[in-house]
Chains A and B, each alone.
Chain A
Amino acid sequence: MYKAAVIGDTASVSGFAALGLTVFRETGPERIKKLISRLAAREFAVIYITEPAAAMAADTIKKYREEPLPAIVLIPAIEGNTGEGMKALHEAVEKAVGSDILKN
């Protein structure tokens, strides 16, 4: 059985605890990177991470992009939506099609 985790600052992720997701309140770049690697090695299939937290560990997240598990999904933090999550989608399109056809 796999589990799902949420990483981010306290205010953004506390609500997910009620849903039964495992919540990690981390804001330091190094700790987030380590945490992602640790969760990926253990039985976490889905990791939701807030956009500001993801920005701090962009290279680690990129590393897991081509692995079948875990799926790392960006979610908006309490400060608002930065559009990083959509950007990842556009990147995937650009990679596959050769140009970003979703732009407009």
Chain B
Amino acid sequence: MARLNVNPTRMELTKLKKKLSSARRGHKLLKDKRDELMRQFMIMIKENRQLRSEVEAAISQANRYMAVAGSVMQREVLETALMLPKQEVELDVSTKNVMSVNIPVFSPKYRTSDSNDIYSYGTAFTSIDLDGAVSALSDIFPKMIRLAEVEKACQLMADEIEKTRRRVNALEHIMIPDYEETIKYITMKLSENERSTTTSLMKVKDMVLKQSHNFT
């Protein structure tokens, strides 16, 4: 550990002691923050994993329907069927503060209130598989929104945890030991100075006594 480059004076000593105590307090706080963030992160990760596998399964299902629909219908017809959507989604974005990480919260707003009113085509010229694909996607959509929320939260929290962990480590392994060592150095130096003053005083006293009274 490196000792800080300071003058060994009493003033520096008090300053350093103050710094050390605030570093210790900061370290404790940051450690708590890290632990709580980690706890929340684990909960989020669990949800994220669950949601992701559900969403992926549903989209794969929809894709299968879509592939079948694509094979029985002409591409142009398929495109035309989906060209003008009835439904429209808008997202209201607010943020939630979790341990000073601002995670987004999406609340979707739909244009049509009826969730079945999503088929933007007549059923006469389209395959039933297209209906299957659209309804599978529409069923999973609320979970997709939630997935976006949770995934973003996980990324932001992972980032914050990494930063906090670095700070905790820097305080624990660098700053606090450095302060402790410098404080020790100054205390040693000061007491050494004191001893040296005492001995030189004693020496002077001896000399003075010898001169005036001829003591040995």
Q: How far is the CB of B125 from chain A (nearest CB, A)?
A: 16
For residue B16, CB closer than 8 A to chain A, the reply is: no
Q: B89 near A: Cβ within 8 Å?
A: yes
**A interface, over-half SS:** mixed
Residue on A nearest B136 in the bound complex, by CB? A15
Option from A3, A10, A46 in Cβ contact (under 8 Å) with B145: A46
Is B154 positioned at the interface, with any CB of A under 8 Å from its CB? Answer: yes
Contact A92 B152, beta carbon cutoff 8 Å = no
Contact yes or no, B138 A76, CB < 8 A: no
Q: What size tier do the contact residues of chain B reach?
A: 35 or more
Contact B45 A92 (CB under 8 A): yes
A 55-103 contacts with B by CB, 8 A: 65-66, 68-69, 71, 73, 75-78, 80-81, 85-86, 88-89, 92-93, 95-98, 102
B52 touches A69 (CB 8 A): no
> When the two chains form their complex, are residues A15 and B137 in contact, meaning their CB atoms are under 8 A apart?
yes
**A75-B59, A96-B38 are known contacts. Are A2 and B45 too (CB-CB below 8 A)?**
no
Nearest B-chain residue to A65, judged by Cβ: B155
How extensive is the interface on chain A, given as a class?
35 or more
| Chain B positions within 8 Å of A40 at CB level | none
Q: Interface digits, B123-156 against A, CB 8 Å rule (1 contact, 0 not)?
A: 0000000000110011001001101110110111
Q: Please indicate the chain A residues that have their CB under 8 angstroms from the CB of B148 in the complex.
A: 4, 46, 48, 71, 73
A37 located at the interface, meaning its Cβ lies under 8 Å from any Cβ of chain B in the complex: no
Cα A75 to Cα B53 in complex, Å, equals: 10
Q: List residues of chain B with CB within 8 A of the CB of A80.
A: 60
Q: Which residue of A lies closest to B34 (CB)?
A: A96
Q: Is the CB of A76 within 8 A of B56?
A: yes
On chain B, the residues within 8 Å of A95 by CB distance are 158-159, 161-162
Smallest CB separation, A19 vs chain B (Å): 6
CB contact under 8 A between A3 and B138, given known A14-B66, A20-B110, A73-B144? no
Q: Other than A14-B66, A20-B111, give 9 A-B pairs with Cβ distance below 8 A.
A: A2-B91, A18-B87, A19-B85, A20-B85, A21-B89, A69-B104, A75-B144, A76-B60, A96-B162
29 CB contacts below 8 A, A to B, read A2-B90, A2-B92, A2-B93, A4-B91, A4-B148, A11-B67, A15-B133, A15-B137, A18-B87, A18-B137, A19-B137, A20-B85, A20-B87, A20-B118, A46-B145, A68-B102, A68-B104, A69-B104, A71-B152, A73-B144, A78-B63, A81-B60, A85-B52, A89-B49, A92-B154, A93-B45, A95-B161, A95-B162, A96-B157
- The chain B residues found within 8 Å of chain A, CB to CB, are 38, 41, 45, 48-49, 52, 55-56, 59-60, 62-63, 66-67, 70, 78-79, 82-83, 85-93, 95, 102-104, 106, 109-111, 118-120, 133-134, 137-138, 141, 144-145, 147-149, 151-152, 154-159, 161-162, 165
